[in-house]
């Protein structure tokens, strides 16, 4: 059988590919376990400096496989299941969602959980759970409100209707829209640039971005200054200054 999730590492970039194209890459509990395994591998591997997430076929991910949901004996069991969006948010490395097609439900939540989102022109985005009688539970409302604003978030979660890639870019849901055939190359180009940066600084920067949404302004600025001091004390920061003085490319070693 074909693995429902592929994991590859090359040149400091880990690529996680959802690989159930015949089911629009809908997530099963088994795939959630594989997501947790992939995230643990990325976190533990110093050679992984950035992670790309994408889907096989015409979907990024259509969310949870609805046919699997009746396996939970109670709503409480469902509430406490291993969550694939939680796995992605446990990732310590910078992440890029290369959204090649449908990003619906949990697929949209996974895209929103990535640091950078780019989309093919064929991508579609939706929070369709309301059409089935429930709402998203992997961060949908909070993450959408931060990304597209409260009114646009309300439009998506209350209607469940999809928006296309151009609308997503206009709302700030994605940073760029590319031709489908150029999507992975562009994601790799961005990932390569990030992988060349000081990895401790890159990981610290993404933690600082999270803090910006969760702290009052003055606390967030003070926290940023603390994180800056931590980065400044690393060997990589000394190497960056030396490389600048010597007019050469720095060789960062994650120290």
User: What's phi and psi for 144, nearest 5 deg?
Assistant: -65, -45
Q: Are 153 and 126 in contact (CB under 8 A)?
A: no
The pair of structure tokens assigned to 7 is: 């994991």
Q: CB neighbours of 179 closer than 8 A, spacing ≥ 6?
A: 120, 121
Q: Which of 22, 47, 83, 109 is catalytic?
A: 109
End-to-end C-alpha distance for the chain, whole angstroms: 41
The yes-or-no answer on residue 129 being catalytic is yes
| DSSP alpha helix (H) spans, the chain | 29-44, 75-79, 84-89, 106-113, 140-148, 150-159, 165-171, 183-195, 199-214, 217-232, 235-246
The yes-or-no answer on residue 68 being catalytic is no
The pair of structure tokens assigned to 17 is: 């590919």
Q: Which of 22, 47, 129, 207 is catalytic?
A: 129
Q: What 3-state DSSP class applies to 19?
A: coil
Q: Are 201 and 23 in contact (CB under 8 A)?
A: no
The pair of structure tokens assigned to 74 is: 């109670």
Task: Name the residues annotated as catalytic.
Answer: 109, 129
């Amino acid at each position: 059988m074909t693995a429902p999730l592929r994991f590859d590492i090359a040149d400091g970039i880990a690529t996680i590919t959802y690989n159930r194209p015949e089911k629009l890459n809908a997530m099963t509990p088994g795939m959630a376990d594989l997501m947790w395994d992939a995230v643990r591998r990325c976190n533990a591997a110093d050679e992984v400096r950035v992670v790309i997430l994408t889907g096989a076929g015409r979907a990024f991910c259509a969310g949870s496989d609805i046919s699997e949901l009746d396996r939970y004996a109670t709503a409480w069991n469902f509430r406490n299941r291993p969550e694939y969006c939680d796995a992605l948010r446990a990732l310590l490395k910078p992440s890029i969602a290369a959204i090649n097609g449908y990003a619906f439900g949990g697929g949209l939540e996974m895209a929103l959980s990535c640091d950078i989102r780019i989309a093919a022109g064929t991508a579609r985005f939706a929070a369709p759970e309301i059409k089935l009688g429930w709402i998203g539970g992997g961060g949908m409302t909070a993450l959408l409100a931060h990304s597209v604003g409260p009114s646009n978030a309300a439009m998506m979660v209350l209607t469940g209707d999809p928006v296309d890639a151009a609308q997503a870019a206009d709302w700030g849901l994605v940073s760029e829209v590319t031709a489908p055939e150029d999507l992975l190359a562009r994601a790799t180009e961005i990932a390569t640039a990030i992988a060349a940066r000081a990895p401790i600084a890159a990981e610290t920067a993404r933690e600082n971005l999270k803090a910006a949404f969760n702290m009052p302004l003055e606390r967030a600025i003070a926290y940023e200054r603390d994180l800056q001091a931590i980065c400044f004390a690393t060997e990589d920061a000394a190497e960056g200054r030396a490389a600048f003085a010597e007019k050469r490319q720095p060789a960062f070693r994650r120290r």
